[in-house]
Amino acid sequence: MWTSPINMALELIQWLIIGFLLILPLLYELSNTFRYYAKFSLYYALVMLISTIVIIYGVFRPRDTRNHGFVIMAMKLVKRLYGIEIEIRGKENLKSEEPFILMCNHQSSLDVLGMFEIWPDRCVSLMKKELIYAGPFGPAAWLCHAIFIDRLNHEKAIETLQATAKTLQEKKLKVYIFPEGTRNYGGSIASFKKGGFHLAIQAQV
């Protein structure tokens, strides 16, 4: 029976997929590099899934810090899935009704797990403008009242900080900032950008 080239190609693709799926467990067990990228890929996929769920319910109460509730619960489940334990000291200092700025160093996207472990009530995050285009994560962050700052436009950045300082006082919000401005892979703390300090001065916190 004659088989068309298209059917042959589809059958070949099918067997390649089956072979790839069969070899995945072996690669996971034998290769540390493969295991590393597999875990990170799953982590990013879970973050995007969580973000998509936030978008679905967040549209009914946009720019609301209460939208973080599901994110906090979901990230704790992700932390448990990966067997990560986080030791927290001084969390009682975050239990305040007054506005304040929370600064943390930034090493990787896994910092989100630690961030939501200590996330205080009525808190928003300050992040670079480019992240609003990062798939479902950007819109989800916006719905959670994230504040996006244009680091390439100094005047707009100052305007954003001034507006944030005003909102901080009016709504008694807390602001979570990575003051280094970008990820620091060196293990030490890099120099802090001025934005967080300008915000603290303007908001008088």
For residues 39 and 41, give the distance between their C-alpha atoms in angstroms, rounded to a whole number. 5
How many other C-beta atoms can be found within 10 angstroms of the C-beta atom of residue 24?
12
What pTM was computed for the model? 0.86
- 59-77, pLDDT tens digit by residue? 999 999 999 999 999 999 9
**Does residue 43 sit within a domain?**
yes
Tokens of 160: 């954003």
**Does residue 186 sit within a domain?**
yes
- Given a cut of 90, whether residue 5 has pLDDT beyond it is no
For the chain, the average pLDDT equals 89
- Given a cut of 80, whether residue 145 has pLDDT beyond it is yes
**Does residue 196 sit within a domain?**
yes
Contact 86, 80 (CB under 8 A): no
Residue 188: the pLDDT is: 60
Q: What percent of the chain has pLDDT over 90?
A: 57
pLDDT band at 20 (very low <50, low <70, confident <90, very high): confident
Domain count, the chain: 1
**Does residue 24 sit within a domain?**
no
Burial of 110 (0-12, 13-18, 19+ CB in 10 A): middle
Range(s) of the domain holding residue 173: 31-203
**Does residue 76 sit within a domain?**
yes
